[in-house]
Structure 1
Amino acid sequence: MSQLKRRDIRIKVMQVLYAHKISKDPIEKVKTDQLSEIKEAENVEFANLLIDVILRNEELLDEIITSKAVNWELERISIIDKLILKIGIAELMYFPEIPPKVSINEAIDIAKDFCTRNSGKFVNGILDAVHEELRKDDKLNKTGRGLLNLKKKEKSPVYNKLESPDKE
């Protein structure tokens, strides 16, 4: 397979998380099965890190989604919408090199491709609210390319350090 784009990697991450949730198979087995076609080391590393970050912070990500999804119970939100939101929020919070605009736009486009016709708007609303809260609370931790399109006052010196995922 030719080199995959980051969007393709995000879609693969969504598919891994979905397969894991539905099948209840161990995550390592699902990752081995689903990520085998990714050949580039940096893409494999990004996919694995994104999956690990989401799984290690799933409770927090659910709380964030619940707090922003006004008049929606978490159980009423489709599995795919939730997974796309978790990918977007994880990128906003734990991937300082990815610009917020990229994370949000990628999530919206994936939602439009894989979910209902209103999912893009729903995902946009939630991620925009999360982005705004992180910015307002000076917790939007971006470096390098992640600083693109941020106003000077939005650049934060604070960093959310994520422990490296446990190897099981």
Structure 2
Amino acid sequence: MSARHKARKRALDVLYESEARSRDPLTTLTERRARNTDLGPEDEDYAVELVRGVVGARDRIDALLGEHAVGWELDRMPAVDRAILRIGAYEVLERDDVPDEVALAEAVALAEELSTEDSPQFVNGLLGKLARVKP
């Protein structure tokens, strides 16, 4: 497993836990950073950038996900899928240093690892739409 994949998984864990506990993701991030030091500094920094980026762009990300998720409302999706989609959307929309294909592949890999049987295809389709329509 690549270091960036571990960083994405860490960010996913933070976002998922925060939603499940109705907590601010930045508070959860701070607590987890104090407890876990299994990532190298550069990869830990990337996990932090992902969480902060998703938090900062969440309204835009959620609006776009809701607009393009045909037949699905964001709040009806599995929580883990929402977190995966938010990270993937952030990378597609806001990170010029991450190719769209990599962001999609990583999101699909997380969905395969952590979500339902149908989630990888759903995540790939929705993030693929965002990649095609982004400015």
How does the TM-score come out when normalised to structure 2?
A: 0.90
Distance in 2 of aligned mates of 1:10 and 1:89? 12
Match of 1:108 in 2: 108
Identity %: 26
Query: How much has 1:44 moved relative to structure 2?
Result: 1.7
The residue matched to 2:54 in structure 1 has which SS? helix
Match of 1:10 in 2: 8
Aligned pairs (5 A) from 1:78-157: 78-134=78-134, 139=135
Q: What's the RMSD between the two structures over aligned residues? A: 1.7
Gaps of 5+ in 1: 140-168
Whether the 8 Å contact between 1:85 and 1:107 is mirrored in structure 2 is yes
Q: Supply the AA of the counterpart residue of 1:21.
A: E
| Larger of the two Rg values belongs to structure | 1
Distance in 2 of aligned mates of 1:26 and 1:95? 23
Gaps of 5+ in 2: none
- CA deviation map 1:35-90 (0-9, x unaligned): 32244221121111110110111111111111111111122111110110110110
Q: Which has the higher contact order (CA 8 A, sep 6+)?
A: 2
Q: How many residues align?
A: 133
Question: Which structure carries more helix by proportion?
Answer: 2
How does the TM-score come out when normalised to structure 1?
A: 0.73
